[in-house]
Amino acid sequence: MVCVEELEKKVSNQTQEVERLRSQLGATDLEKQLELLLVENQRLKKELKSCKSTDAAAESCSHCSHSQVCCVTHMVEEEEPADAGRAVAELQKKNEDLLEQLHTQKQLQKDLQTQLHESQRICAQLRTQILVYEGEMARAQGQLEAEMQNLEEEKNRVIEEAFIRAESEMKAVHENLAGVRLNLLSLQPALRTLTLDYNLLKRQVQDFPFMLDQAITQAKQEICQVISEVSTTNQELLRKYKREMNLRKKCHNELVRLRGNIRVFCRVRPISQEEQDSVDARTMLSFDSDDDAVLYLSNKGRVMKFELDKVFPPPASQEEVFQEVQSLVTSCIDGFNVCIFAYGQTGSGKTYTMEGIEDNPGINQRALRLLFSEVLEKAPDWDYTITVSMVEIYNESLRNLLGDSLSDRLDIKMNPDGSGQLYVPGLTEFTVLSPEDINRVFELGHMNRATACTNLNEHSSRSHALLIITVSGYNTVTGSRTQGKLNLVDLAGSERIAKSGAEGNRLREAQCINKSLSALGDVINALRGKHSHVPFRNSRLTYLLQDSLSGDSKTLMMVQVRERLLGG
Ligand SMILES: Nc1ncnc2c1ncn2[C@@H]1O[C@H](COP(=O)(O)OP(=O)(O)OP(=O)(O)O)[C@@H](O)[C@H]1O
């Protein structure tokens, strides 16, 4: 019993110790250990309790067994001797069991005491640990306090510095403020002016839409007025322009009249390399550098002077030649008839001047292109139609170079409309609308001419080729009409073949050429001399060109010569 009381006391002490430790230590791991100790403590309490109850039972059992033994003895005295002996044995057995139980309980109590010692040892260890922890905590707290002290000092220092800095900044701000105040004072008048300006501008902005409306209305009125003035001026200018155009036409005609309706130009063909080497070259032409209308011919020591309207020396280009004839070309737009002849011996450059070569066209193509551009410029007031015919006169018969059959001979007849004009029934006329059309017409003409003869070069030397361009105009404003004709003629070679003793066809060709060329000469002479009778009917050529040679028609004879006249 003393042992149990001691255990109880120890347990109670241990509990108190545990509580004290718990209150001292808040650490989690210690708490866990204490938790375990508590559990152990509980378990020990329970075992102690059960130990107590076992002890009590054993004690009561020892009393009970004694009374039972007495009772059994009593019963044995009273009962039969055999039964009594059995009962005693049973009771002795029970008594032995109980004694064994008691022994077991004592052993258990001993174990518990061992455990209790172990717990006490652990408690002592824990206490030591707690002391160590407390020492560490005290050290840590010392460090913490020292750190706190440092921090406090640092804080005070920083505050001190910040305060000093703030003071100096404050001082600077005060100074700035004073400056700003001064500035503000000086700016006040400017601010007042600005405010006034601002108010003024504000009023103007408010008034702006109204002013804008007014300005737009005024501008509209002014524009309308200007437009009407411009329109009136335009009308006036148009009227003046028309008057000027008429004047220009009159001046142009007057100029042409003064120059004479018949002009003679001379173009000298440069000599080729072969001709240069020719030993027969014997005649020389020379020019007057001050007068482009004079040509000198030196032959056998004699120098002859020829005066013409214009002389083109060998270097003269196709363009230069055309510039001199283009006023004649354009006059057919105004309704004049024009004839341009290329006259000269075979090889003197007639075809070169009229047709030109592929990359350097002559008068024919340039004239058509110029007419196109001129009539385009006059649109839309004028509506023009340009038609083209190509004719060849060979042995005094007319061939339609743009027709289907070259063997058909054309005739020249009086127009049945009673106008007294001549016309050629069956002559093909192509309306050309573009420069491409011109090329097509020329190609067709050349092709027809080439297929009709065995040697085109020879044939072209012995026939006249005519390109007849008719320009018909209609004025869409006035309703007036004009018609002009431009005849571009590449004449047959002018050499006197008849004198060289040609016979047969060549003789007939030569006679025809001579006849038509002298007829042309006669007509030009008669026209120049203003004769009352002009012999147009003496050749097909002059008869065909009658309209274009008479009246106020203009004629240009381009005399082609070679720079050196070859012998023979
Ligand atoms: N001004 C010139 N500049 C350079 N070459 C020219 C010039 N005139 C003519 N020729 C050249 O001289 C040669 C003869 O010219 P072209 O055929 O025009 O003579 P033509 O008088 O028409 O002869 P034909 O009476 O035989 O038709 C051609 O090769 C031509 O290219």
CB 316 within 8 A of CB 267: yes
- Going from the Cα of 346 to the center of ligand 1, the distance in angstroms, rounded, reads 8
pLDDT at residue 278 in the model: 62
Taking residues 533-554, report their average pLDDT: 91
In a domain, 241, yes or no: no
The pLDDT tens digits for 155-166 are 999 999 999 999
Closest CA to ligand 1's atom 15 = 349
pLDDT at residue 66 in the model: 43
In a domain, 168, yes or no: no
Residues in binding site: 344-351
Taking residues 318-340, report their average pLDDT: 94
pLDDT at residue 62 in the model: 47
The pLDDT tens digits for 215-261 are 999 999 999 999 999 999 888 888 888 888 788 777 867 776 666 68
Q: Give me the phi and psi of 413, to 5 degrees please.
A: -130, 165
Decide: helix, strand or coil at residue 1: coil
pLDDT at 184 over 50: yes
pLDDT at residue 497 in the model: 58
In a domain, 176, yes or no: no
Q: Which CA distances in Å does 553 have to 199, 309, 388, 550? A: 83, 17, 19, 6
Residues 6+ apart with CB under 8 A from 368: 386, 388, 432, 435, 438, 469
The pLDDT tens digits for 424-468 are 999 999 999 888 888 889 989 888 887 666 666 667 778 899 999
Taking residues 75-82, report their average pLDDT: 51
CB 122 within 8 A of CB 50: no
pLDDT at 69 over 50: no
pLDDT at residue 522 in the model: 93
- Going from the Cα of 353 to the center of ligand 1, the distance in angstroms, rounded, reads 8
For a substitution probing ligand 1, which of 269, 311, 455, 497 has the most ligand atoms within 8 Å of its CB? 269
Taking residues 267-282, report their average pLDDT: 73
Taking residues 298-307, report their average pLDDT: 85
Distance CA 463, CA 409 (A): 14
pLDDT at residue 139 in the model: 92
Residue 509 pLDDT class (50, 70, 90 cuts): confident
Residue 312 pLDDT class (50, 70, 90 cuts): very high
Return the H-helix or E-strand segment holding 483: strand 481-490
Question: Which CATH number goes with the domain that contains 529?
Answer: 3.40.850.10
Look up residue 557 and give its two tokens.
């004879």
Residue 311 pLDDT class (50, 70, 90 cuts): very high
In a domain, 300, yes or no: yes
pLDDT at 499 over 60: no
Taking residues 283-301, report their average pLDDT: 84
In a domain, 450, yes or no: yes
The reply to whether 515 and 380 lie within a common domain is yes
Residue 70 pLDDT class (50, 70, 90 cuts): very low
Domain's final residue, options 159, 187, 204: 159
pLDDT at residue 72 in the model: 43
Look up residue 542 and give its two tokens.
């002059």
Closest CA to ligand 1's atom 14 = 347
DSSP 497: G
The reply to whether 320 and 463 lie within a common domain is yes
Beta strands, E only, 240-359: 262-269, 283-288, 291-299, 302-307, 310-312, 338-344, 356-357
In a domain, 548, yes or no: yes
Residues in binding site for ATP: 344-351
CB 257 within 8 A of CB 271: no
The answer to whether the Cα torsion of 35, 40, 44, 50 is positive or negative is positive
Closest CA to ligand 1's atom 10 = 349
pLDDT at residue 282 in the model: 58
Distance CA 498, CA 493 (A): 12
pLDDT at residue 259 in the model: 64
- Residue (of 390, 491, 404) closest to 446 by Cα position: 390
pLDDT at residue 79 in the model: 46
Q: What is the C-alpha end-to-end distance of the chain, expressed in Å? A: 184
pLDDT at residue 87 in the model: 81
pLDDT at 560 over 90: yes
pLDDT at 485 over 90: yes
Domain's final residue, options 137, 159, 181: 159
The reply to whether 437 and 290 lie within a common domain is yes
Distance CA 482, CA 257 (A): 20
Distance CA 52, CA 364 (A): 156
Question: What average pLDDT does the structure give for the chain?
Answer: 83
Look up residue 311 and give its two tokens.
């002389």
In a domain, 403, yes or no: yes
Domain count, the chain: 2
Q: Which CA distances in Å does 202 have to 99, 199, 205, 214, 215? A: 124, 5, 5, 19, 19
**pTM surpassing 0.80?**
no
DSSP-assigned letters across all residues of 43-59: HHHHHHHHHHHHHHHHH
Distance CA 25, CA 461 (A): 144
Distance CA 9, CA 45 (A): 11
Look up residue 537 and give its two tokens.
């009917």
CA 69, chain centre distance (Å)? 133
- Going from the Cα of 393 to the center of ligand 1, the distance in angstroms, rounded, reads 20
For a substitution probing ligand 1, which of 272, 321, 351, 458 has the most ligand atoms within 8 Å of its CB? 351
Domain that holds residue 372: 260-565
The reply to whether 271 and 153 lie within a common domain is no
Q: Regarding predicted confidence, which is higher, 374 or 405? A: 374
Ligand 1 neighbours by CB, cut-off 6 Å: 269-270, 344, 346-352, 457, 460-461, 493, 560
Residue 81 pLDDT class (50, 70, 90 cuts): low
Cis peptide before 416 (omega within 30 of 0): no
- Residue (of 534, 539, 564, 565) closest to 551 by Cα position: 534
In a domain, 32, yes or no: yes
Half-sphere CA count of 245, side-chain side, radius 13 A: 11
Domain's final residue, options 102, 130, 159: 159
> ipTM of this predicted complex?
0.98
